[in-house]
Structure formats: structure tokens, C-alpha cells
């Protein structure tokens, strides 16, 4: 009698568990799907908004980018992923100007921290979500991001050239006059010694800050990015030193 009771009790619990399982399956049948059927759904694929796949230089409709070749992003990058190669070009005004020659980016070493993007003073960089970057060798991950030829400097009119030349000459004359006046005052012995120059900042920091052109918001942004990059580097070096000492101890 006891075994018949056990038989029906286990049969009942088996049917119950079957119904529970079917309830879960039935619910999943009607729940909207969140998985992607890549690559079948390549055309309708939806990326998360903050997904970062590869860095690129922003280009406007006329084929111009905003990079001024200041090198801030290169200095900010904790992995040495970016190399900014520059060249000097002659401007129509008769002066020299530093311009971007090649912007080299190694996707293979990028950790997508976005320090380069946030520290750029001209907002010239962005991350896009083009994730299909598979290649057979690592060297193919090294990319040149400035893909369009640089546009030549706009030609100046004769009037503008004359104005620029006059301004340059006036500046030179004013500087010479100032220097001569200071020298004369020193020779007379009445002038105070020139004030000591303020303590210079780290040249790399000063160079990075120069790109902000005195804009306090950009300067703050660059300083914050510099600090973060230095912290990241220090952490990496400490981790490396720990690894080395572990190896030596073994």
C-alpha cells in the first residue's frame, strides 16, 4: 500500500515540475529577444550607445579635419598607441606653420580608455562602432587616420599680405625699442634687474597646455587627462615591478 502511495506522490510531483518547466519555456517564447543573430542581422544590428570600436579623426563635409598636430593625444595615451608625425609648411603670409603629416594609430594596443578624445583641445577625435576589424597579422592593425590630402593654405590678397608684413615690422620695431630702452636704463644703473622668470612647468605639460590657447576649460581638461594618464602609467609600472619580483622569488 505504501509503495502505491509513493508511486502516485512521485508521479504528481513529476507532473508539477513538468508544468513549471513548460511555464518558463512558454514565457521565453513571448519575451522580446535581446541576443543578436550576427552576421545574419548585420543590416539591422544595434550597438550599445557607448560602444567604442576604433578611433578616427573627424572630417567635415569639405574634407577638413580639426587636428592641429599639437601631440596632446600622443602624450596622453598610456599605451603609446598614437604617433603624431608633423611637418613644417610655408604659409602665404611668409611664415612657417606646423601641420599634421601622418596620424598613426595602433588598434592592437588601444585599450579604448578615451583619454585621447577627452584631452584633444580641438575636439578632432572620436570613437566609432565599426567593430569588424579582423585581420591576419598585427601590423595590419596599425592605421593612418588622416586619409585625405591636406588642403593648401588659403591664398592671401595683396592687401592682406601688406597688412601682415606691416604688423610684423611694427612688432619687431617695438621689441627692438623696448630692448634698447631696457639696456640704456641698465647702463645708467637706475633700472631694477629684470624680474626672475617664474618656475617653468614640465616642458611636456607646458607644450600640452599651449594647445589650449589660454582657454581655462580646455586647460583644466588637459591637466585632468595628464593626471589620469600619469596615474595609469604608475599603476602599470607598479604591476610590472610586482610581476618581476614574483618571478625572481620563484
SS3 of 108-134: the string is HHCCCCCHHHHHCCCCCEEEECCCCCC
Question: Minimum Å distance from CB 239 to ligand SF4?
Answer: 16
Provide the binding-site residues for ligand SF4, judged by CB under 6 A.
Answer: 55, 67-73, 76-77, 79, 81-82, 84, 110-116, 120, 122, 124-125, 211
Round to whole Å and give the CA distance between 144 and 248. Answer: 40
- Judged by beta carbon, residue 32 or residue 203, the one nearer ligand SF4 is 203
Question: Minimum Å distance from CB 109 to ligand SF4?
Answer: 7
Edge-to-edge strand order for the sheet containing 142-144?
82-90, 96-106, 142-144
Q: Give the three cell numbers for residue 122.
A: 580641438
- Judged by beta carbon, residue 91 or residue 109, the one nearer ligand SF4 is 109
Question: Minimum Å distance from CB 212 to ligand SF4?
Answer: 10
Question: Minimum Å distance from CB 107 to ligand SF4?
Answer: 9
- Judged by beta carbon, residue 99 or residue 161, the one nearer ligand SF4 is 99
- Judged by beta carbon, residue 113 or residue 156, the one nearer ligand SF4 is 113
> Residue 89: enclosing H or E segment and its boundaries?
strand 82-90
Question: Minimum Å distance from CB 168 to ligand SF4?
Answer: 26
Terminal-residue alpha carbon distance, the chain? 69
Question: Minimum Å distance from CB 201 to ligand SF4?
Answer: 18
Mapped onto helix, strand or coil, the DSSP state of residue 212 is coil
- Judged by beta carbon, residue 20 or residue 106, the one nearer ligand SF4 is 106
- Judged by beta carbon, residue 68 or residue 226, the one nearer ligand SF4 is 68
Give 181's contacts (C-beta < 8 A, 6+ positions apart).
none
Number of C-beta neighbours around residue 105 at 10 A: 24
Amino acid at each position: 500500500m505504501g509503495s502505491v502511495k509513493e508511486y502516485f506522490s512521485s508521479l504528481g510531483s513529476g507532473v508539477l515540475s513538468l508544468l513549471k518547466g513548460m511555464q518558463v519555456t512558454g514565457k521565453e517564447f513571448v519575451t522580446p529577444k535581446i541576443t543578436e543573430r550576427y552576421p545574419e542581422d548585420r543590416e539591422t544590428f544595434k550597438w550599445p550607445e557607448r560602444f567604442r570600436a576604433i578611433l578616427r579623426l573627424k572630417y567635415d563635409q569639405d574634407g577638413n579635419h580639426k587636428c592641429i598636430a599639437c601631440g596632446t593625444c600622443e602624450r596622453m595615451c598610456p599605451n603609446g598607441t598614437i604617433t603624431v608625425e608633423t611637418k613644417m609648411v610655408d604659409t602665404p603670409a611668409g611664415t612657417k606653420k606646423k601641420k599634421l603629416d601622418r596620424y598613426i594609430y595602433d588598434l592592437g594596443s588601444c585599450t579604448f580608455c578615451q583619454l585621447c578624445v577627452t584631452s584633444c583641445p580641438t575636439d578632432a577625435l572620436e570613437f566609432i562602432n565599426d567593430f569588424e576589424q579582423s585581420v591576419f597579422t598585427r601590423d595590419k592593425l596599425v592605421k593612418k587616420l588622416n586619409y585625405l590630402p591636406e588642403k593648401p593654405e588659403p591664398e592671401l590678397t595683396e592687401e592682406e599680405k601688406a597688412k601682415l608684413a606691416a604688423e610684423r615690422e611694427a612688432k619687431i620695431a617695438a621689441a627692438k625699442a623696448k630692448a634698447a630702452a631696457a639696456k640704456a636704463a641698465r647702463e645708467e644703473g637706475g633700472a631694477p634687474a629684470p624680474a626672475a622668470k617664474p618656475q617653468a612647468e614640465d616642458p611636456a605639460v607646458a607644450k600640452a597646455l599651449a594647445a589650449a590657447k589660454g582657454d581655462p576649460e580646455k586647460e583644466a581638461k588637459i591637466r585632468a587627462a595628464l593626471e589620469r594618464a600619469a596615474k595609469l602609467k604608475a599603476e602599470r609600472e607598479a604591476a610590472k615591478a610586482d610581476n618581476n619580483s614574483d618571478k625572481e622569488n620563484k
